[in-house]
Amino acid sequence: MKKTILALLIIISVSTYSANVIFKSEKTSMLAGEWVWQKSSGGQNGSYTSTPKSIGSTKKLVFTPEGKVITYKNDVEIRNSNYQITKGISIFDNLEHDLITFEGITYVIEQLDARTLTIVNNFPDGYSSTYKK
């Protein structure tokens, strides 16, 4: 009986670990590359919107498969840090979502496909930012 329980625990642990590795691998490969900022909106009353044209500067994020994110402002590198993709709870609906953390901030991944990345600050009065590949 003890051997059966131990074997079952090992199988569950390995399958959970494998599923997490596959999840991270898929998201990392979709995320890898250059993302150009299009707009951000949100704030205290949710009515503030900014674009490259409205603030007079551009922003670009470059994610590497090795877990690095390089941030550019007006094509000049301003930060180089690590990022981490996890599953976690969103403050907006208390449900599990894909999260990404970089530069000390955790975001909910609202949309990630071949052309669009939309991330939302995972805190009240935060901003939603959209990037295009």
Full-model pTM: 0.80
How confident is the model over 76-102, as pLDDT tens digits? 999 999 999 999 999 999 999 999 999
CATH class held by domain 2-132 = mainly beta
Q: What is the pLDDT of residue 44?
A: 83
Integer Cα distance of 131 and 5 in angstroms: 48
Domain-wise residue ranges, the chain: 2-132
Question: For the segment 1-36, what is each residue's pLDDT rounded down to a tens digit?
Answer: 555 554 444 544 444 444 444 445 688 899 999 999
